[in-house]
Amino acid sequence: MKKSRRLLAVLLAAAITATTLTPLNAFAATNGEMDIDSLQVSSLNQPLGIDKTPTFSWQLGSNEYGKGQSAYRIIVASTEENAKAHKGDVWDSEQIQSEDNYDVLYAGPALDSKTKYYWAVEVWDEDKNSIGWSDVSTFETGILNQDEWKGEWIGINGTDMTFDGANWIWRRNGSGFSGVPAGHQYFRKTFTVNTEKEISSVYVGVTADDEYSLYVNGEKVGENGGTDSWKNGKLFEIGKQINKDGNNVIAIDAFNSTNGYAGALSKVEVSYTDGTKDTFVTDDSWKVSETEPVEGWTSADFDDSQ
């Protein structure tokens, strides 16, 4: 008896509360004072060339005292249509209970380089009512920062090999991949193979924005280029060119065809008959030159110590 009386009291209290609050809530939801605006990515309006993990910011246009945010949900979509339908096919943060609306870090899967994304945010007010969605805004990635992003999202055509673990490289000091003047950049990596094992295969995967020629121990083994060719790496079998007893050199003559983004990405995979592998990936150990090196720079006996 006692229990049911208490329940009745709770129900009555809830009914009174609901009656009291409903008109206010209805007013708040329809008066349009809680617009979500000033959408920014990494503190910029609809930026281009984002080259590290993006952050999202927005503002609430409310001028009603005490109306704040209790939760948000960010969606990132690959198309404007998906974003307008609030389908986060790239990332959906789901509802996050938080008052944060500044520099909220993207936490989805690795983004593609040089790609336009669409995003929107839904906000819940302090009474936990959705105030709806922002308009759709955009950002575009650059070639993503080598410290935070690896090359694994690019496949090498027709193979299981990926650029997993490799880093985009271009400038000598590692600074940025945007705003690069048109022209050549020359890369070089020396490596040795394990002489105590028997080699079963040696492959090198390469891609570059925008074109490249690949040399192994001074011999040209391949090239590629053309619009968006950087999205698909090519794989070259270089077992014949490899020196099994000494130094080997992979040399890449990369060419950026217009002012803008530029980058090179490579991975060498030496497989041994015992099932083990040695891999060498583009990183800050690769030599880089902005001017054409003297003749012989693609050969293993070239002195690149300067």
Q: How far apart are CA 221 and CA 214, in angstroms?
A: 6
Q: Applying CB under 5 A, which part among 98-106, 138-146, 205-213, 233-241 lies near Ca ion?
A: 205-213
Show the DSSP H helices in the chain as ranges: 2-30, 80-84
Q: Which is nearer to Ca ion, 54 or 263 (CB)?
A: 263
Tell me the three state secondary structure of residue 176. coil
Q: Does residue 210 touch Ca ion according to CB under 5 A?
A: yes
Find the part of the chain contacting Ca ion (CB under 5 A) among 66-74, 153-161, 210-218, 231-239. Answer: 210-218
Cβ pair 54, 42 in contact under 8 A: yes
Number of residues that bind Ca ion (CB under 5 A): 6
Nearer to Ca ion, 88 or 263 (CB): 263
- Beta-bridged to residue 208, according to DSSP, are 264
Three-state secondary-structure class, residue 65? coil
Residue number with CB closer to Ca ion (139 or 230): 230
C-alpha closest to that of 86 among 134, 150, 141:
134
| 51 touching Ca ion, by CB under 5 A | no
For residues 162 and 155, is the Cβ–Cβ distance under 8 A? yes
Select 225 or 293, whichever has its Cβ closest to Ca ion: 225
Between the alpha carbon of residue 15 and those of residues 1, 18, 27, 39, the distances in Å are: 21, 5, 19, 38
Q: Is 83 or 254 the residue whose CB approaches Ca ion more closely?
A: 254
Give dist(CA 245, CA 248) in Å, integer: 9
- Binding piece for Ca ion, criterion CB under 5 A, among 15-23, 71-79, 186-194, 252-260: 252-260
Under rule CB under 5 A, residue 253 binds Ca ion: no
Counting contacts by CB under 5 A, is residue 209 touching Ca ion? yes
Stretch binding Ca ion (CB under 5 A), from 127-135, 197-205, 246-254, 260-268 = 260-268
Among 213, 256, 266, 298, indicate the residue that binds Ca ion (CB under 5 A).
256
Is residue 185 involved in binding Ca ion (CB under 5 A)?
A: no
Least CB distance to Ca ion at residue 180 (A): 7
The strand order across the sheet containing 36-41 reads 36-41, 55-60, 104-105
Contact region for Ca ion (CB under 5 A) — 61-69, 154-162, 163-171, 203-211? 203-211
34, 60 contact by CB (below 8 A): yes
Q: Which residues are paired to 142 by β-bridges? A: none
CB of 243 or CB of 258, closer to Ca ion? 258
Rounded to the nearest whole angstrom, what is the least distance from the CB of residue 257 to Ca ion in the complex?
A: 6
Nearest-approach distance from CB 145 to Ca ion, in angstroms: 17
Count of residues in the chain: 306
C-alpha 49/C-alpha 178 separation (Å) is 7
Q: Which residues bind Ca ion (CB under 5 A)?
A: 209-210, 256, 260-262
